[in-house]
Amino acid sequence: MDALSLPNSQQAAPNWTVQTILDLYNMPFMDLMFRAQQTHREYHEPNAVQLSSLLSIKTGGCPEDCSYCPQSSRYDTSVEREKLMPLDEVVQAAKQARAAGAQRFCMGAAWRNPKAHQVEAVAEMIRAVKALGLETCVTLGMLREGQARQLKQAGLDYYNHNLDTSPEFYGQIITTRTYQDRLDTLERVRAAGIHVCCGGIVGLGESRRERAGLIAQLANMKPYPESVPINNLVKVQGTPLADNEDIDPFELVRTIAVARITMPATFVRLSAGREAMDDSLQALCFMAGANSMFYGEKLLTTGNPQLQADQALFHRLDLKPVTQSGTDHAGTQPSESGDTAGKCACAVAAPTSA
């Protein structure tokens, strides 16, 4: 395909070298923030945040050795192995998330890769959650081609599969699947017509250059992911990274800013790690270009801020919800629903019961 026949998004997307991204990271903090805000305002409504709720539908007992993860069977953590959650419990949790104000419901399973009957069971869940009017996202590990198509047919909007870190540092964190395995799954998801949610983690012990290496991988995808979760390591007792040194919080903010500049139309999600952040740090992350977050009191197995705390944060910052996440890469503005536009997110959140 020649350059002229590429869709708009891909023609516009430059190739990023790790050094160019590192140069962004190394900018004076205020200059970096200004540039990120400029980009953010060109592509997004500046006071809107996309709200996703998470549910672990299959917890623990995972054969992989991801050294940050409390669900790996190789580490002695307090997470117990559980069976796949029944459909009615998933629907109940999705109704609660919707009532609390979430727009997207993300279901995570601690699998290396799902088996055929498991994909069928998850497809049922996707259909049921979609029927509630929520956007759907799942993260199930590696997928084969037919499986991605099956999930798409069930109505899946997003598939989350993270690269986690740079190709160079990756081998120090995970040995049971390769970087290429992850890229292959992402290709299959894209080919099936599912939106890609792909990001990584900071605080694994990586260098700034390695953080830049992760962003380069993401930003050079054609097209780049529609959703980019930036997780701050949640240190869980029993995992090999439990005693890692905390990353400088401004380094997290810089990572968000660099993601915003290099992937202007994407939704950058301030993901795991918010429980350990105060409101000021979260506000800086939003200023740097984060416009999505996990909303609800639990991530998969670890905690997330209480709904009341988040609603108070939205109120203090005048943030309002995005209800449709404008998922193409042509630089279109995300749209808001008519009935919530202009109100802060705290105004649409209802009690947690369905």
Contact indicator for 92, 57 with CB cutoff of 8 Å: no
The DSSP secondary-structure symbol of 289 reads: T
Provide DSSP, 22-59: HHHHTS-HHHHHHHHHHHHHHHS-TTEEEEEEEEEEE-
Contact between 107 and ligand SAM by CB under 6 A: the answer reads: no
Per the DSSP assignment, residues forming a β-bridge with 202 are 232
Contact indicator for 230, 252 with CB cutoff of 8 Å: yes
Contact between 50 and ligand SF4 by CB under 6 A: the answer reads: no
Task: Please pick, from the candidates 154, 194, 261, 272, the single residue that binds ligand SAM as defined by CB under 6 A.
Answer: 272
Q: Which of 303, 308, 322 is nearest to 350 (CA)?
A: 308
What is the gyration radius of the CA atoms in the chain, in angstroms?
19
CB of 79 to ligand SF4, least distance (A): 10
Contact between 66 and ligand SF4 by CB under 6 A: the answer reads: yes
Contact indicator for 340, 321 with CB cutoff of 8 Å: yes
- Residue 93 or 173 with smaller CB distance to ligand SF4: 173
Q: How far is 134 from 115, CA to CA, in rounded Å? A: 25
Q: How far is 320 from 209, CA to CA, in rounded Å? A: 34
Task: Please pick, from the candidates 62, 107, 197, 272, the single residue that binds ligand SF4 as defined by CB under 6 A.
Answer: 62
Dig out the tokens for 216 from the structure.
Answer: 């380069």
Task: Please pick, from the candidates 33, 102, 300, 322, the single residue that binds ligand SAM as defined by CB under 6 A.
Answer: 300
- Residue 121, binding choice from ligand SF4, ligand SAM, ligand DTB, none, Cβ under 5 to 8 Å by partner class: none
Contact between 141 and ligand SF4 by CB under 6 A: the answer reads: yes
Residues recorded for the chain:
354
Contact between 236 and ligand SAM by CB under 6 A: the answer reads: yes
Exactly one of 62, 285, 344, 346 is catalytic; which is it?
62
- 346 carries an active-site annotation: no
Task: Please pick, from the candidates 217, 231, 282, 311, the single residue that binds ligand SAM as defined by CB under 6 A.
Answer: 231
- 106 carries an active-site annotation: yes
Binding to ligand SF4 in span 81-140, by CB under 6 A:
110, 112
Catalytic residues: 62, 66, 69, 106, 137, 197, 269
The residues that touch ligand SAM, with contacts defined as CB under 6 A, are 62, 68-69, 108, 110-111, 139, 141, 161-162, 164, 201, 231, 233-234, 236, 272, 300
